[in-house]
Amino acid sequence: MKNIKAILIAGTGSGVGKTTVAMGLMAALGKHYKVQPFKVGPDFIDPGHHTRICGRPSRNLDSFMMGERGVLETFARASKGADYCIIEGVMGLFDGIDDTEIASTAHVAKILNVPVILVINAHGASRSIAALVKGFSEFDSVNIAGIILNNAGSDRHIKLIKDSLQSSGIKIPVIGALPKNPELSIPSRHLGLHMAGEDNLNIGKLSDFIKKHIDVESVKTIANNFTAPDVELNQPLEKFDVKIGIAYDSAFCFYYEDSFDELRMSDAELIFFSPMTDGLPDVDGIYLGGGYPELFAKELSASRTRNEIKKAAEDGMPIYGECGALLYLNESLQIDRTYKMAGILPASSRMTDKLQALGYTEAETAIDSPIARKGRIIKGHEFHYSITECDSDATLVYKLRRGKGIVDGKDGLMEHNTMASYMHTHPASNSFDEFLRQCRKYKSR
């Protein structure tokens, strides 16, 4: 691998401005270099903004779902051909699953041995920031190579902070100080930030703002101190000559790019379609990701595609869905009123104004399913505001060791050869091999 340059943008906590800094640096460097973006954690929305800014698909790095090997492989594959890699962290630098470092920004930084730029909210503090930096820099073996102050005040305020760091013997340089700029914030909705395609981010303004207030040359110097790990990439052992329909539109848009990569490397042809506006293409299996079906329930209900997908399911076609797809594959979805959905799975869903589940999951497959054989342990995550109520005789595939699922610690509703769960998974935790075998079997009937 060529000499890739890389940095990781971390924060002392959530909401300190690391997303603004990360995306701003992607925009600023992207004007002259090929920038490969990454996001720590299971998030889908930030990577969408990254992809729009950089013109290269953003990749998730999650040490819980992917393991250390998965993080290394994804980084190695995605960084090919890039000049700079910019990794956006998640939450606070050391915040992992439970009281461990697993799934934390720090864990990913240590796996890759990548230098970290720490973003700190400077509002209402001066010398206390020195104490904060001292604690963060000495807590673990993470290489904090630079500091960016967000919500900084006057020049005097910035000088007070720098003087305090110097007098405390802290040698980590302040390489930027951003004043408050509400124009560059991204609107939120109940499941997170607005999506990248909603034209709510002025990339040019963001780039100019970052270049004005951050020493980009210092950022490049820090990134240049990265040495890429030497990783031998694994290749799929089995090949499948099948066509997979991928539901991809405004309603179904939460996918890991690694999933598409694995499917393609396994010789699957991916055919993208919209269940709202397109008919079901000629395929051997269907994969529906998460997203916002509740925002498009009227369109999904009115489309003839839901009947076509139901007919395919009744014919035994393998169909796999995650989170939002569960709502669509069920009988109905209640929002302001009740809308008919695909009617494949024996359950109904309704949206609530209360978060129903958020966090990592770990499941054991209790029976064979279209995505895994019995006894498989799969790691993933869940995040939803809906409630799904199943028929009394419904078949549930997953027994959760961690997480909430659909009901009573169970997830993965199955009917015919269709299965959908609240749990999102990553191919590093569970490959698509079993799904592709089922699709090949369906094709050869």
Using pLDDT thresholds of 50, 70 and 90, give the confidence band for residue 189. Answer: very low
CA–CA separation, 45 vs 196, rounded Å?
Answer: 7
Residues 6+ apart with CB under 8 A from 56: 34, 35, 36, 37, 78, 82
Using pLDDT thresholds of 50, 70 and 90, give the confidence band for residue 187. Answer: very low
Please report the pLDDT score of residue 111 as a whole number: 98
DSSP string, 399-436: EEEES-TTBTTEEEEEETTEEEES-EE-TTTS-SHHHH
- 104-155, pLDDT tens digit by residue? 999 999 999 999 999 999 999 999 999 999 999 999 999 999 999 999 999 9
Please report the pLDDT score of residue 355 as a whole number: 95
- 343-396, pLDDT tens digit by residue? 999 999 999 999 999 999 999 999 999 999 999 999 999 999 999 999 999 999
Using pLDDT thresholds of 50, 70 and 90, give the confidence band for residue 186. Answer: low
390 is known as an active-site residue: no
The three-class DSSP label of residue 28 is helix
Query: Strand locations in 51-173, DSSP E?
Result: 59-61, 84-92, 116-121, 144-150
Please report the pLDDT score of residue 444 as a whole number: 93
Give the residue among 247, 419, 242, 238 at the shortest CA–CA distance from 316. Answer: 419
CA atoms within 13 A on the CB side of 335: 14
Phi, psi for 19 (deg, rounded to 5) = -65, -45
Percentage of the chain modeled with pLDDT above 70: 96
Residue 134 CB neighbour total at 10 angstroms: 15
Please report the pLDDT score of residue 445 as a whole number: 85
Using pLDDT thresholds of 50, 70 and 90, give the confidence band for residue 202. Answer: confident
Where do the domains of the chain lie, and which CATH numbers do they carry? 5-224 (3.40.50.300), 242-443 (3.40.50.880)
339 has pLDDT over 70: yes
- Lowest-confidence segment of 106-110, 167-171, 193-197 by average pLDDT: 193-197
CA–CA separation, 59 vs 41, rounded Å?
Answer: 10
Please report the pLDDT score of residue 237 as a whole number: 78
430 has pLDDT over 60: yes
The three-class DSSP label of residue 228 is coil
Amino acid at position 385, single letter: Y
Using pLDDT thresholds of 50, 70 and 90, give the confidence band for residue 193. Answer: very low
Please report the pLDDT score of residue 188 as a whole number: 45
Global pTM reads: 0.94
* Cα 84 to the center of its chain, rounded Å: 20
Alpha helices by DSSP H, listed for 88-150, are: 105-112, 128-139
Using pLDDT thresholds of 50, 70 and 90, give the confidence band for residue 3. Answer: confident
Alpha helices by DSSP H, listed for 271-390, are: 297-302, 305-314, 324-329
- Lowest-confidence segment of 44-48, 361-365, 402-406 by average pLDDT: 44-48
Please report the pLDDT score of residue 236 as a whole number: 77
Amino acid at position 290, single letter: G
Cβ-contact 244, 269 below 8 angstroms: yes
Please report the pLDDT score of residue 234 as a whole number: 82
CA atoms within 13 A on the CB side of 430: 23
Residue-averaged pLDDT of the chain = 94
- 237-275, pLDDT tens digit by residue? 789 999 999 999 999 999 999 999 999 999 999 999 999
Using pLDDT thresholds of 50, 70 and 90, give the confidence band for residue 196. Answer: very low
Report the pLDDT averaged over residues 39-65. Answer: 95
194 has pLDDT over 80: no
List 54, 253, 323, 390, catalytic entry: 323
Report the pLDDT averaged over residues 33-42. Answer: 97
Tokens 């967000």 correspond to what residue?
150
